[in-house]
Structure formats: C-alpha cells, structure tokens
Structure 1
Amino acid sequence: MRRSRTFDWEDPRVSAGAVAQHSGLAFLREILDGRLPAPPLARALGFTLEEAEHGRAVFALVPGEEHYNPIGSVHGGVYATLLDSAAGCAVQSALPLGTAYTSIDLNVKFLRPVTVDSGKIRAVGTILNLGRRTALAQAELRDSDDRLLAHATSSCMLFPVPAD
C-alpha cells in the first residue's frame, strides 16, 4: 500500500544569517525556543533539538517507515545524521560569538537496529576536547529504555564568522 508524507520548512538563510549575532549556545537556544527556524533537514527527517547547554546537545526522533532501508529497519544514514547533529551542536554550544564550526569527520559504530517499534530515540552529544582550531565530540544514540543503539565521534574545524 502506497504511503505519503508532506512537510514544510522555513528559509534556511534566516538561521544562517543569525549565526554571527549569537554565541553558539544562544544560537541553539533561539532555535530551541522557536525564534529561529529549525534547519530544513530536521523538518525533512522529522527530528528535533530537545536540549542545549554548554558542551551538550540532544536531538530526538520518533522513527517511522519513511526512515527505513530496504531490509526493514532505520537506515544508517538517519543514525549518522542524528549523531552528527548532536556532536556538532555540542561543539557549537561552547563557541563564542563570531565562531562557527564544520565537521571534519564522523566515525559511527552501529550497535542495534532501530524500527518503528523502538519508540523515541535520542542522540546526546558532548564535547571531549575544545581547542582553538579544532574540537572533538562524541554522541550516543539511545532508545527509550536507555539502550545504546550507536556511538559516534566527530572532529570539527573551528573558524571565524564575519559579522555583517
């Protein structure tokens, strides 16, 4: 039986333009509080930023069939997206005004399958090391019973963002 899903999003340039006006944590809190739009990717996949504090970020997703791979479980790319978002935003949460980041790499270890029966899953990102030019973060993907589903580490490059 054919299924469909629709979603909408806001202009991503609004958030991108706000990066230079906020510290990393203030920027994430603007998204969390709805004053800045969530990124279109989050709307497309259906995940949300749930928490942001200095050195930590949490994203959540209720898996659906639209996240499945051909063998009947959530695609690894969905895991990787959640883990990359959590690790990267953990780094962002510790950045001062005028600094941004980009992921250099992402190393993911898949430990358990996720299906629609898994319920809400959460990716919790934390900083391991924050330097002047690079940062190292990790993220854990856990189910509602706190079982570890996947783990990732991410290196991030830090760079100045010019003010408008």
Structure 2
Amino acid sequence: MSPDADVTHGRPGKFWAAMRGETPQPPAARTLGLEFVDADPEAGVIELAFTATTDFTNPMGNVLGAFLAAMLYDTLGPALLATLSPDEFQSTLDMNVNFLHPTRPGRLLGRGHVTHRDGDIARLEATLTTPEGTVIATATATARVIPLGVEAV
C-alpha cells in the first residue's frame, strides 16, 4: 500500500494498524507475504495479495495446497475482522477448500467476503486468483465473533 493512501479509512484497532503497516503483521501473514490491497467493511469484503515463493513448492514446482489453504484462511478471517469493532476478534470454526488449478510461485490475489452473519456466527467465502484472473482455489468457512482476550472453545 502506498504510504500516501489510506484505504483503511483511518479505522482504529490492532487489525487495521497491522493492515496499515503501523504494527508488525503476525508471523504467519509475513511468511505468506500478505499485503493489504483494499477493503469495503460495510460490504464485508477485503482484498489481499500474497507472495508464493519457491519455498512453497512441491517437486513439480507448483505451490503446495497447504500454502494455498493458508492464504485462503488468512483471507477469510480478515474479511470478518474488517467488519468488527476494535474490541472484537474472530475464531474460525470450520473451513472447506477447493483446489481448482495448479499454480506456480508469484503474486496471488485473495478476495474474502462475509456472506451472512447471524449474531456472533458468520459465514465467509474467499477466492484465490492469479493476477491474470485464473481462480486457483476457493474456500468457505464459519466463524464466531468473540470479544478480544477471550479464548475460543
């Protein structure tokens, strides 16, 4: 993100501070090369980018599905986090991944969406694409909204 552009709209909280680069990202997000692109919290949508390195590949040179799943996981959660207040967090209850197309190392784009929320339970979906628009994997998940500092069960 350009230091001159604040697509986080100055929103408060640890999540947004990390998205703006004001605080360090979690280690897993750094490993995946997570980069914040854009968000529309009112619509429950977030766009992220990831950098798949050659360290993520199988013997055929394709990015392992486990890394693609981790990128989708790190897209689903932030889609919901972007809609929450600074004193709330989310806990993923389940996740289903579909691998659609093999991919090589490079930049990958994640788009997450909160499709439904009823109280503290949310349904989420995400897609992972190449910069050219080829969908390589999709995921759906269910998450629970929890107050910060409360352990998920």
TM range (shorter): 0.7 to 0.9
Q: State the Cα deviation string for residues 3-30 of structure 1 (Å, max 9, x = none).
A: xxxxxxxxxxxxxxxxxxxxx8754331
Note if 1:91 corresponds to 2:80: yes
Look up the SS of the partner of 2:52 in the other structure. Answer: coil
Note if 1:78 corresponds to 2:67: yes
| Structure 1 unmatched runs, 5+ | 1-23
Structure whose CA Rg is larger: 1
| Structure 2 unmatched runs, 5+ | 1-10
Q: State the Cα deviation string for residues 21-75 of structure 1 (Å, max 9, x = none).
A: xxx8754331122112111112223232322330122221232211112332101
Which residue of the other structure, out of 53, 71, 78, is the alignment partner of 1:64? 53
Name the CA distance, whole Å, in 2 between partners of 1:147 and 1:44: 23
Alignment of structure 1 residues 135-154 onto 2, 5 Å: 135-154=122-141
Higher strand share: 2
Question: Which residue identity is paired with 1:44?
Answer: T
Look up the SS of the partner of 2:28 in the other structure. Answer: helix
Name the CA distance, whole Å, in 1 between partners of 2:64 and 2:111: 19
Note if 1:40 corresponds to 2:24: no
Aligned Cα root-mean-square deviation (Å): 2.0
Is the Cα contact below 8 Å between 1:25 and 1:95 reproduced in 2? no
- 1:51 to 1:71, Cα distance in 2 relative to 1, 3 A: same
Note if 1:161 corresponds to 2:148: yes
- Aligned residues between the structures: 138
Q: State the Cα deviation string for residues 91-140 of structure 1 (Å, max 9, x = none).
A: 11111242211111110000000113xx4210100110122121011000
Distance apart, 1:157 and its partner CA: 1.1
- 1:38 to 1:122, Cα distance in 2 relative to 1, 3 A: same
Higher helix share: 1
- 1:27 to 1:130, Cα distance in 2 relative to 1, 3 A: farther
Structure 2 length-normalised TM: 0.81
| Identical residues among aligned pairs (%) | 26
Look up the SS of the partner of 1:138 in the other structure. Answer: strand
Name the CA distance, whole Å, in 2 between partners of 1:60 and 1:138: 16
Stretches of 4+ aligned residues off by more than 6 angstroms: none
Question: Which residue identity is paired with 1:111?
Answer: L
Which residue of the other structure, out of 108, 111, 115, is the alignment partner of 2:100? 111
Which residue of the other structure, out of 120, 130, 140, is the alignment partner of 2:107? 120
Is the Cα contact below 8 Å between 1:127 and 1:137 reproduced in 2? yes
- 1:25 to 1:128, Cα distance in 2 relative to 1, 3 A: farther
